[in-house]
Amino acid sequence: MSGTIKVLNVAEKPSVAKSVSGILSRNQALRVRDGRSRYNRIFEFNYSIRGQPCHMLFTSVTGHLMELEFEDRFRKWHSCDPLDLYHAPVRKFVPEDKLDIKRTLEEEARRCQWLVLWLDCDREGENIAFEVINVCRAVNRHLTIRRARFSALIDREIHHAMQNLIDPNPWFSDAVDARQEIDLRIGASFTRFQTMLLRDKFVIDSATDDRNLVLSYGPCQFATLGFVVERYWEVQSHEPEEFWTINCSHRSDEGVATFNWMRGHLFDYTCAVIVYEMCVQEPTATVTKVQHKEKLKYPPYPLNTIELEKRASRYFRMSSEHTMKVAEELYQAGFISYPRTETDCFSSRTDLHAIVQEQQGHPDWGSYAQRLLDPETGLWRNPGSGGHDDKAHPPIHPTKFSTGEHGWSQDHRTLYELVVRHFLACVSQPAVGAETTVEIDIAGELFSASGRVILERNYLDVYRYESWGGSMIPTYTVGQQFAPASLTLDTGVTRPPPLLSEADLLSCMDKAGIGTDATMHDHIKKLLDRFYATKDSNTRFSPTNLGEALVMGYDDMGYELWKPNLRSMMEFDMKEVSVGNKSKDEVLATCLQQMKACFFDARLNKVKLLEAMAVFFERSNRAVGGDNYAAGEVVRQCDLCQESSMVLKKNRDGNFMVGCSGFPQCRNAIWLPGSILEAAVTSNICSSCNPGPVYLIQFKFLQIEIPPGFNANHLGKDIGPMTGCIGGCDDTLRQLIEICGTGSRMSARGRGPTTTSSNGQRSSNRHNGCVHCQQTGHSSNDCPSQFSRSRNSQSHTHSENGDPSVSCSTCGMPCVLRTANTANNRGRKFYSCPSQECNFFIWEDGVSNGNDGRSIPSTNCSASNSGRRGGRGQSGRNRSHAADTTFVSATGDPVSNRCYVCGDPSHFANVCPNRGM
Assess contact for 600 and 557: CB atoms under 8 A.
no
DSSP code for 772: T
To which H or E segment does residue 573 belong? helix 565-578
3-state helix, strand, coil in the chain (%, to 5): 35, 20, 45
Question: Taking a C-beta distance cutoff of 8 angstroms, is the pair 686, 719 a contact?
Answer: yes
How many C-beta neighbours within 10 Å does residue 817 have? 21
User: What pairs with residue 798 in β-bridges?
Assistant: 804
Q: In what order do the strands lie in the sheet with 645-650?
A: 633-637, 645-650, 656-660, 669-671
- Among candidates 77, 71, 139, which has minimal Cα distance to 106? 139
Find the distance separating the first CA and the last CA of the chain, reported in whole Å.
Answer: 104
Nearest Cα to Cα of residue 328 among 417, 400, 396: 396
Measured CA to CA, the distance from residue 194 to residue 635 in angstroms comes to 19
- What is the rounded CA–CA span in Å between residue 67 and residue 893? 53
Per DSSP (E only), the strands in 266-340 are 285-297
Element (H, E) at 848: helix 844-848
Whether 154 contacts 124, CB under 8 Å: no
Chain-centre distance of CA 20, in angstroms? Answer: 40
3-state secondary structure of 682: strand
User: What span, in angstroms and rounded, lies between the C-alpha atoms of 917 and 901?
Assistant: 10
**CA–CA separation, 300 and 246 (whole Å):** 37
* 47 close to 9: Cβ distance less than 8 angstroms: no
Question: Strands (DSSP E) along 713-771, which ranges?
Answer: 723-724
- At residue 354, the 3 state secondary structure works out as helix
CA distance 148 to 418: 29
Instruction: Give the total residue count for the chain.
Output: 917
H helix or E strand, kind and range, residue 315: helix 305-316
What is the rounded distance in angstroms from the CA atom of residue 326 to the CA atom of residue 330? 6
Clarify whether 338 is annotated catalytic: yes
Q: Is the four-CA dihedral 217, 223, 224, 225 of positive or negative sign?
A: positive
Closest CA to 741 of 858, 868, 854, 830: 868
Are the C-beta atoms of 223 and 514 separated by less than 8 Å?
yes
| Neighbouring residues of 766: CB distance < 8 A, sequence distance ≥ 6 | 702, 704, 705, 751
C-alpha to C-alpha distance for 95 and 39, rounded to whole angstroms: 16
Contact yes or no for 381/428 (Cβ under 8 A): yes
Is 223:564 a contact under the CB 8 Å cutoff? yes
Q: In what order do the strands lie in the sheet with 42-49?
A: 31-33, 42-49, 52-60, 5-11, 114-118, 144-147
Q: Within its chain, how far is the Cα of 122 from the centroid?
A: 25
* DSSP structure string for 693-722: --EEEEEEE-GGGS-TTS-SS---TTS-TT
- Given the residues 338, 463, 476, 695, select the one marked as catalytic: 338
What is the DSSP secondary structure assignment for residue 671, as one 8-state letter?
E
The answer to whether 213 touches 199, Cβ cutoff 8 Å, is: yes
CA torsion sign for 907, 911, 916, 917 is negative
State how far the alpha carbon of 231 is from the alpha carbons of 225, 237, 307, in Å. 10, 10, 22
Positions marked catalytic: 338
